[in-house]
Structure 1
């Protein structure tokens, strides 16, 4: 075999070796991470403090306020915010940030900042602060989803059923 043919034959192997392995995505593709970790904990937080009005059949309006009643419920809210903060670190990792541009890092950091404030509000057991922090979390999530639509992240592979839990 001629030397230049050998070089051409080995070129794909050399390029593959230089590019390194695909990044490890410990929670699966971004859509899976969101479905299994970010969204459920965000929902836990958002549902912890809320105000609802319902129009009753007799025409009156019934107003209801919800907030945690026990130490365990407040701890669940705090833990949900702490988990969101941890997920922001995962989203900022090279495995998840690679190739997504600087906006990804901005939103991931924004999630971390909003989650830290949410955790502090829950720790203080301040329903008004929890409500406000929940709105801030929502705004970060919505802004990110406008730039990175969930359907596009889902196209990267995997299904929600493939999500590693934990």
Structure 2
């Protein structure tokens, strides 16, 4: 068996492929904001909506819900995270705000992964995927799903999720 000189890993195709996927996951998930909290996920979106508008109130609710979820995670109240996140999803914000919802789910999943709460992270990401309509958001969520799988050591599932993300991104390029 041949080994890669610098990495000390076998150079068979599957191992290299998994290593490459793991590297891409680490770099893409960090750039998507998984490793840190991002206050104001919905706040920026709300600034473009006229005061008193029902949509502005919904965005304010979503922002508050996101903050509630992050506080619950910090307090270790993990059983409450998915039901509270569902309140954001159930607002059924217009498609224009779908990216903010996907970012919220991604940030929450990242916080859960940091605390080894993989099942809840999967629940949050899966619910977000069910509701995401835009391919760019679905692709980003599949990357997050891959990050969760990778973090729990399930590299095959991580690979599947990333391949779905790539497929969606390629479809966007062909348009």
- TM-score w.r.t. structure 1 length? 0.32
Please identify which structure carries the higher helix content. 2
Structure with larger Rg: 1
Please identify which structure carries the higher strand content. 1
- TM-score w.r.t. structure 2 length? 0.31
